[in-house]
């Protein structure tokens, strides 16, 4: 039956449904926007793996990000430096002096062994990577007799900080096996990146670098296609005539002899046999692929804050400015993380009573040491005769050398070592008891 016959048999009636009544104002249907993926789309797998889709359609995650040489170098540089540098738990005594709190259980956790399977440097490097990549780093505190004995890193993206209406901070932890748990603030060691949108969770580099990393990967893929399937030729010669093998070989030799090399740039060719020149639409030089890849590497370096020479950009000469580069790296890249770590240790790992006299201190001097000549000049001035402010034993400690019995005191102003020895030598005929009393 044709459509016209069907309408004629139905008496040309129209079947229409009753208009749907608008939803009540109290039960308004929310409007949602979403993206759809085909089941065979690779982007779906990346999205399920916590990928961030950038402007070029590439999902940015840690596996893809670490394939970028600039991003990998910056992350390994920052994480390696934070893990290498020692963290000491310090105690401020009643007389104003400070000392290392070696007798406190937390000292070994921060300086030697964080848990049963990680050293302190491994723990700090991993936690730093979590804070950089995800914006947050979480560790479970294992306590005994009121003191922290171990710090166990919690799996990434499995912890969510929550602030109640009464401003009580808790953490929702979803383990890989089992039900969700709520951890109190006293059970979790947490620090985040300097930037935050809500004051609780930090902003991760992979989130903000998604577009730059995706574009850098597209440039890498374009370079790979160019090297495997592309052409480096700038154009072709066309003719309607049929050329023999001898003519083609003579033409190739003429191009090599007369139009090859730097001297032939911008020259005009004289063509025969009805030949016409046709330029290709694009090649590696016209598309500026190298410049694009270099630009994306610089964009990644801006996100991380690491200096360009330390990221192995060869166009920058190191020269005699290597010390200034180290100072720049510590001051403008690592110093903020030093403060974040020190404050988090003070706030999360010490009791209220201990917070009055104890604190954590990062020792960044390992990255700021100059050459042996510069150190010799520095310590010579520190041990100066007229304005000494370091004792010989303090200088020896800086070089991991044992102290000397006569190296505790500051050098006397206006004296030399020979004069000091002569002044300390007792006069002949002085009784031993008197010598001992005068020495005391």
Look at residue 131 in the predicted model and tell me its pLDDT. Answer: 96
In the numeric block, which tokens belong to residue 423? 């002044």
Q: What pTM value is reported for the model?
A: 0.70
How confident is the model over 252-302, as pLDDT tens digits?
887 777 766 656 555 666 666 677 777 665 555 555 667 777 888 888 889
CA 334 to chain CA centroid, Å, is 10
pLDDT > 90: percent of the chain: 36
pLDDT at 112 over 90: yes
Look at residue 439 in the predicted model and tell me its pLDDT. Answer: 46
CA quadruple 47, 50, 54, 59: dihedral sign: negative
CA distances from 64 to 39, 134, 381 (A): 21, 14, 51
Averaged pLDDT, 364-380:
74
Which comes out higher in pLDDT, residue 277 or 20? 277
Report the range of poorest mean pLDDT among 226-230, 345-349, 393-397. Answer: 226-230
How confident is the model over 125-152, as pLDDT tens digits?
999 999 999 999 999 999 998 899 999 9
How confident is the model over 30-81, as pLDDT tens digits?
554 455 656 655 555 555 655 667 677 777 788 888 989 999 999 999 999 9
In the numeric block, which tokens belong to residue 283? 């090649």
Averaged pLDDT, 220-248:
74
CA neighbor of 217 nearest in space, from 283, 286, 293: 293
Q: Which long-range contacts (CB under 8 A, 24 or more apart) does 203-208 make?
A: 203/135, 204/132, 204/133, 204/134, 204/135, 204/136, 205/65, 205/71, 205/132, 205/133, 205/135, 205/303, 205/304, 206/52, 206/60, 206/61, 206/62, 206/65, 206/133, 206/134, 207/52, 207/135, 208/303
How confident is the model over 317-356, as pLDDT tens digits?
655 567 777 788 888 999 999 999 999 999 999 999 999 9
Look at residue 395 in the predicted model and tell me its pLDDT. Answer: 81
81 contacts: CB under 8 Å, gap ≥ 6 = 329, 334, 367
Averaged pLDDT, 357-384:
79
pLDDT at 163 over 90: yes
Which comes out higher in pLDDT, residue 228 or 431? 228
pLDDT band of 437, cuts 50, 70, 90: very low
Averaged pLDDT, 229-244:
71
> Given 3-state DSSP classes, what are the helix, strand and coil percentages for the chain, each rounded to the nearest 5?
45, 15, 40
Give the H/E segment covering residue 138: strand 136-144
pLDDT at 424 over 50: yes
Q: Which long-range contacts (CB under 8 A, 24 or more apart) does 219-227 make?
A: 219/289, 219/292, 219/293, 219/296, 220/293, 222/287, 222/289, 223/289, 223/293, 226/284, 226/289
List phi, psi (to 5°) of 325: -65, -45
Q: Would you list the DSSP string of 335-354?
A: HHHHHHHHHHHHHHSS-TTG
Averaged pLDDT, 170-198:
94
pLDDT at 15 over 60: no
Look at residue 51 in the predicted model and tell me its pLDDT. Answer: 60
CA quadruple 194, 197, 202, 207: dihedral sign: negative
pLDDT band of 234, cuts 50, 70, 90: low
Task: Return the exposure string of 79-115: e unless at least 16 CB atoms fall within 10 Å of the residue's CB, then b.
Answer: bebbbebbbbbbbeeeeeeeeebeebbbbebbbebbb
Give the H/E segment covering residue 333: none
Report the distance separating Cα 121 and Cα 365, nearest Å: 16
CA neighbor of 130 nearest in space, from 146, 154, 112, 98: 154
In the numeric block, which tokens belong to residue 401? 């050398």
Look at residue 117 in the predicted model and tell me its pLDDT. Answer: 96
pLDDT band of 222, cuts 50, 70, 90: confident
In the numeric block, which tokens belong to residue 246? 């001898």
Look at residue 339 in the predicted model and tell me its pLDDT. Answer: 96
Q: How many CB atoms lie within 10 A of CB 292?
A: 16
Averaged pLDDT, 208-226:
82
List phi, psi (to 5°) of 261: 95, 175
Q: Are 360 and 87 in contact (CB under 8 A)?
A: yes
pLDDT band of 413, cuts 50, 70, 90: low
Report the distance separating Cα 157 and Cα 174, nearest Å: 9
Look at residue 104 in the predicted model and tell me its pLDDT. Answer: 95
Q: Is 431 exposed, middle or buried (0-12, 13-18, 19+ CB in 10 A)?
A: exposed
Per-residue 3-state assignment (H helix, E strand, C coil) for 148-165: EEEEEECCCCCEEEEECC
Look at residue 149 in the predicted model and tell me its pLDDT. Answer: 95
Give the H/E segment covering residue 87: strand 87-92
Report the range of poorest mean pLDDT among 163-177, 192-206, 359-373. Answer: 359-373
Average pLDDT across the chain, whole number: 79
Averaged pLDDT, 392-418:
73
Which comes out higher in pLDDT, residue 232 or 117? 117
Q: How many CB atoms lie within 10 A of CB 306?
A: 23
Report the range of poorest mean pLDDT among 129-138, 173-182, 367-376. Answer: 367-376
């Amino acid at each position: 039956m044709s459509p016209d016959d069907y309408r004629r048999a139905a008496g040309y009636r129209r079947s229409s449904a009753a208009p749907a009544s608008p939803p009540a104002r109290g039960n308004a249907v929310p409007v949602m926007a979403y993206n759809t993926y085909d089941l065979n789309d690779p982007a779906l797998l990346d999205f399920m793996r916590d990928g961030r889709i950038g402007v070029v359609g590439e999902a940015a995650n840690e596996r893809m990000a670490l394939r970028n040489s600039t991003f990998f170098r910056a992350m390994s540089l920052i994480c390696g430096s934070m893990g290498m540098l020692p963290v000491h738990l310090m105690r401020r005594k009643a007389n104003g002096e400070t000392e290392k709190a070696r007798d406190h259980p937390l000292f070994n956790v921060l300086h030697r062994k964080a848990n049963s399977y990680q050293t302190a440097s491994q723990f700090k490097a991993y936690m730093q990577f979590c804070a950089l990549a995800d914006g947050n780093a979480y560790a479970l505190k294992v306590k005994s007799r009121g003191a922290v004995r171990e710090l166990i890193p919690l799996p990434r993206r499995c912890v969510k900080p929550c602030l109640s209406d009464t401003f009580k901070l808790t953490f929702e932890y979803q383990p890989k096996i089992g039900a969700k748990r709520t951890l109190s603030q006293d059970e979790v060691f947490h620090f985040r990146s300097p930037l935050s949108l809500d004051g609780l969770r930090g902003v991760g580099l992979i989130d903000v670098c998604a577009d730059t990393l995706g574009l850098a990967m597209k440039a890498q893929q374009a370079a790979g296609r160019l090297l495997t399937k592309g052409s480096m030729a700038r154009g072709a010669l066309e003719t309607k005539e049929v050329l023999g093998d001898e003519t083609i070989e003579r033409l190739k030799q003429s191009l090599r002899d007369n139009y090859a090399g730097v001297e032939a740039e911008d020259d005009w060719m004289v063509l025969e046999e009805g030949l016409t020149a046709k330029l290709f639409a694009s090649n590696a030089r016209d598309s500026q692929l190298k410049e694009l890849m270099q630009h994306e590497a610089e964009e990644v370096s801006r996100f991380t804050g690491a200096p360009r020479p330390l990221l192995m950009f060869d166009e920058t000469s190191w020269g005699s400015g290597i010390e200034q580069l180290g100072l720049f790296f510590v001051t403008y890249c690592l110093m903020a993380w030093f403060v974040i770590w020190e404050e988090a240790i003070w706030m999360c790992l010490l009791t209220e009573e201990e917070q009055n006299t104890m604190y954590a201190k990062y020792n960044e001097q390992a990255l700021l040491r100059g050459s042996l000549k510069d150190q010799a000049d520095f310590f010579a001035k520190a041990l100066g005769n007229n304005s000494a402010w370091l004792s010989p034993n303090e200088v020896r400690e800086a070089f991991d050398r044992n102290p000397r019995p006569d190296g505790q005191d500051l050098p006397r102003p206006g004296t030399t070592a020979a004069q000091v020895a002569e002044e300390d030598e007792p006069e002949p005929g002085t009784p031993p008891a008197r010598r001992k009393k005068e020495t005391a």
